[in-house]
Amino acid sequence: MKAAVMYQQGGLPQYTDFPEPAVQNPDEVLVSVKAVAIKHLDKSRASGKHYSSDAFNENGRVIGGDGVCVLEDGKRVYSIGVSGMLAEKAVINKNRMVEIPDGVDDAVAAALPNAVIGAAMGLKFKANIKPGDVVLINGATGFTGRVAVQIAKHYGAKKIIATGRNKASLNELLVLGADETISLTQDDDGFKARLSAVHSQTPIDIVIDYLWGHTAEMILTCLKGNGSFTNKIRYVSVGSMAGDLVQLSAATLRSADLQLTGSGLGAWSKAQVGELFREILPEMFALAAAGKLKGDTVKVNLADIAELWNLEVSNGQRLVVIIDN
């Protein structure tokens, strides 16, 4: 079969022939792959920089973690691969797949789930979002952030504040459900003054953070209390695009009712992952089919994997590899 194979950790994947994966137990099934989104997680794991990265295999390994595939009976499903998904064939677990409704094309169906996971799991299980909450999404101009804005609105957020650098994408977020945007391109004092004013007028209940780093330090500074009673703030770290480390003042933790947690691989329970496949993803696919959850994609071919691996797409789009087989 044709596949995208990584032979050197941190190198470029190669489009080449590779042995077809084999089913190892009754819970697995061989499928034909139709579409796979290329995400920051895939690149980070392939480079060995992510905490869940696999050990390097000198014989090469197929990359790609999840995607849209077709069962033997023709049913179209989304699944996380047991084997690498950027290939004509892959092995998936029968208990970890979700049927894709008509009205959602392959590219969108491949792109949405990772963003849903990066948004809904944090909002629902880590932040315990309730109708009427005020939500700040830090780094909302990327694909996942844009999906997070829409899901927060779906879950009943009273107000959504979005931060980001891309001016065009920030403006589009106002159409997707954000109530206010704050640019990260301004100087630190300007950003903190704006966010502090917002927090003073409508206290922030939830922060979903895709950036971390210095932006998180500024946000946490704005959340620090002054000795009076504060509302409970659930701060959820989902990504670290702006840096892996922060300096956190102990005074911030003591002066505000602040819950600091993370949402990612290893941070969820088996029951929560089960609910993701059983309820959350089917609900989000249904919203997409009804035109109520949107995501923009750029479609590319598997044969061009080496050239497009480091391609950056703008305005909150996601790169999706279409596989013809």
So what's the pLDDT on residue 141? Answer: 96
The overall pTM is greater than 0.85: yes
Which residue is listed with tokens 């917002």?
A: 198
Query: Where is average pLDDT lowest: 43-47, 108-112, 192-196, 270-274?
Result: 43-47
Architecture of domain 2-99+295-322: Alpha-Beta Complex (3.90)
d(CA 86, CA 92): 13
CA-CA-CA-CA torsion sign (103, 38, 127, 216):
negative
Per-residue pLDDT reduced to its tens digit, 8-29:
777 899 999 999 999 999 999 9
d(CA 202, CA 207): 13
Confidence of residue 50 (pLDDT cuts 50, 70, 90): low
- Mean pLDDT confidence for 295-314: 92
d(CA 32, CA 227): 59
Please report, rounded to a whole number, the percentage of residues in the chain having pLDDT higher than 90: 86
Strand 14-17 relative to strand 180-183, pairing: unpaired
d(CA 271, CA 42): 24
HSE, side-chain direction, 13 A CA sphere, residue 243: 8
Average pLDDT, the chain: 94
Confidence of residue 43 (pLDDT cuts 50, 70, 90): confident
Do the beta carbons of residue 73 and residue 50 sit within 8 Å? Answer: no
Dihedral-angle region of residue 266 (phi above 0 means left; psi in -120 to 50 means alpha; beta otherwise) = left
The structure tokens listed for 299 are 């479609």
So what's the pLDDT on residue 313? Answer: 86
The structure tokens listed for 318 are 């996601």
| Per-residue DSSP letter, 315 | T
Query: Does residue 273 surpass a pLDDT of 90?
Result: yes
Q: Calculate ∠ Cα 312-318-323, nearest 5°.
A: 105
Q: Is CATH 3.40.50.720 the right assignment for the domain spanning 115-262?
A: yes
Domain boundaries, the chain: 2-99+295-322, 115-262
| Per-residue DSSP letter, 290 | T
So what's the pLDDT on residue 48? Answer: 63
So what's the pLDDT on residue 41? Answer: 73
So what's the pLDDT on residue 58? Answer: 66
In sequence order, what DSSP letters do the residues of 48-98 get, joined into one string? T-STTPPPP-TT-EE---EEEEE-TTS-EEEEEESS-SSBSEEEEEEEEEE
DSSP-based three-state secondary structure for 239: coil
So what's the pLDDT on residue 292? Answer: 97
So what's the pLDDT on residue 52? Answer: 59
The structure tokens listed for 66 are 């999840």
d(CA 153, CA 176): 9
Confidence of residue 57 (pLDDT cuts 50, 70, 90): low
Please report, rounded to a whole number, the percentage of residues in the chain having pLDDT higher than 70: 96
So what's the pLDDT on residue 55? Answer: 58
Query: Does residue 289 surpass a pLDDT of 80?
Result: yes
Confidence of residue 324 (pLDDT cuts 50, 70, 90): confident
Distances (CA, A) of 254 to 92, 94, 250, 259: 46, 47, 6, 11
Query: Where is average pLDDT lowest: 56-65, 101-110, 241-250, 265-274?
Result: 56-65
Among the listed residues 272, 274, 297, 276, the one whose alpha carbon sits nearest the alpha carbon of residue 285? 276
Per-residue pLDDT reduced to its tens digit, 69-95:
999 999 999 999 999 999 999 999 998
Query: Does residue 325 surpass a pLDDT of 90?
Result: no
Query: Where is average pLDDT lowest: 37-41, 77-81, 296-300?
Result: 37-41
Q: Which residues contact 185 (CB under 8 A, 6 or more apart)?
A: 165, 167
HSE, side-chain direction, 13 A CA sphere, residue 306: 11
Query: Does residue 53 surpass a pLDDT of 60?
Result: no
